C-alpha cells in the first residue's frame, strides 16, 4: 500500500473516491459457495488497520471465523436477536421480519470485530472513554467497507447479537466487547440504494435537513 503522504490527488482520483463512497452498500445477499482470495482479505484487514483511532489506541481486533460449527452457532445467536427485536418492535413486526438483515450463512467470509479491553489511554478520551473507542473501531470497519467495495466484494455489518453470548463463543476476555459481525463475499449485484430504502422500511434523510449553522435549530425553524 502507498505510504507517500505527499501525494496530491488529481480530479479523476477525487472522482473515484466519491464514486466509491456512493457505491458502498450494506450487503446481505451473497453468492453461496463463492470465495474471497486470501490476498483480497489481507488488503481488507490492512485497510481497516489504517484507520484513525483515539490516542492511537487501535482498539480493533478481528476474529476470522473459519470453523463451520462456530459459524452455525453465531448464525443462531443472530436469529435469536432478530426474534427478540421482532417481539419489541411493535406494529411493524411483520415488515421487520420480512427484511433480510444478515448474510451469515451464505457469505464467503465471516469476521467478528471486537473492541479490545481498555488499555487506559487518556489522550482524547477523558470525557467520552467508551464512545471514542467505539468510534475508532467504527472507523476501521468503514475503511474495510470501502476497501471491499473497490475490490467488488460485498460487506454487510451485522449488530444483531447478544455481545455477552458472542464474546463467550469467541473466548473473548471479559472486558472485550464484540461490536460487529462482518459478512464478506462476492455478490450477484450491489443494491442501488440502501436495502432499508429499497424495502420501504425507511427513507434517507436529505443532507440539507441535518446540516446546521452555529446552533441546533429551533423546532420548525427554516433551515
Ligand atoms: C453500526 C451499524 C450496525 C448495523 N447493523 C446492521 C444489522 O445488524 N443488520 C443489517 O441488516 N444492517 C445493519 N447495518 C447496516 C445499515 O442498515 C445500513 O448501513 C443502512 O441501512 C444504510 O445502508 P447502506 O449502508 O447500504 O448505505 C448496520 C450499520 C451500522 C453502521
For the chain, domain boundaries:
29-187
Query: For the chain, what is the mean pLDDT?
Result: 96
Closest CA to ligand 1's atom 10: 101
SS3 147: helix
Whole-number Å distance, alpha carbon 108 to ligand 1 midpoint, is 19
What percent of the chain shows pLDDT beyond 90?
95
- What does the pLDDT read at residue 1? 54
Q: Kindly tell me the sign of the dihedral angle through the C-alpha atoms of 145, 150, 151, 156.
A: positive
Any idea how long the chain is?
223
- What does the pLDDT read at residue 219? 83
Q: Which of 155, 159, 184, 204 to mutate to test the pocket of ligand 1 (most atoms within 8 A of CB)?
A: 159
- The Cβ of residue 106 has, within 10 Å, a number of other Cβ atoms equal to 17
C-alpha 205/C-alpha 180 separation (Å) is: 24
221 against 59, higher pLDDT: 59
Q: Would the pLDDT of 220 be above 80?
A: no
- What does the pLDDT read at residue 222? 57
**CATH, domain 29-187, list 3.40.109.10, 3.40.50.2300, 3.40.50.300, 3.90.180.10:** 3.40.109.10
Whole-number Å distance, alpha carbon 7 to ligand 1 midpoint, is 32
pLDDT digits (tens, 9 = 90+) for 65-80: 999 999 999 999 999 9
Amino acid at each position: 500500500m502507498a505510504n507517500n503522504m505527499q501525494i496530491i490527488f488529481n480530479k479523476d482520483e477525487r472522482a473515484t473516491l466519491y464514486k466509491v463512497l456512493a457505491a458502498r452498500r450494506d450487503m446481505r445477499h451473497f453468492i453461496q459457495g463463492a470465495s474471497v482470495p486470501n490476498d483480497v482479505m489481507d488488503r481488507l484487514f490492512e485497510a481497516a488497520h489504517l484507520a484513525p483511532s483515539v490516542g492511537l489506541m487501535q482498539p480493533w481486533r478481528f476474529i476470522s471465523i473459519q470453523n463451520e460449527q462456530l459459524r452455525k452457532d453465531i448464525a443462531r445467536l443472530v436469529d435469536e436477536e432478530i426474534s427478540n427485536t421482532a417481539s419489541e418492535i411493535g406494529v411493524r413486526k411483520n415488515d421487520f421480519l420480512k427484511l433480510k438483515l444478515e448474510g451469515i450463512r451464505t457469505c464467503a467470509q465471516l469476521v467478528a470485530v471486537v473492541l479490545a479491553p481498555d488499555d487506559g489511554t487518556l489522550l482524547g478520551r477523558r470525557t467520552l472513554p467508551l464512545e471514542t473507542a467505539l468510534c475508532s473501531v467504527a472507523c476501521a470497519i468503514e475503511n474495510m467497507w470501502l476497501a471491499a467495495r473497490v475490490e467488488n466484494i460485498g460487506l454487510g455489518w451485522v449488530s444483531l447479537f447478544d455481545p455477552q453470548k458472542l464474546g463467550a463463543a469467541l473466548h473473548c476476555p471479559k472486558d472485550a466487547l464484540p461490536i460487529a459481525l462482518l459478512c464478506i463475499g462476492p455478490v450477484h449485484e450491489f443494491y442501488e440504494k440502501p436495502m432499508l430504502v429499497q424495502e420501504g422500511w425507511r427513507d434517507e434523510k436529505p443532507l440539507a435537513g441535518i446540516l446546521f449553522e452555529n446552533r441546533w435549530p429551533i423546532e420548525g425553524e427554516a433551515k
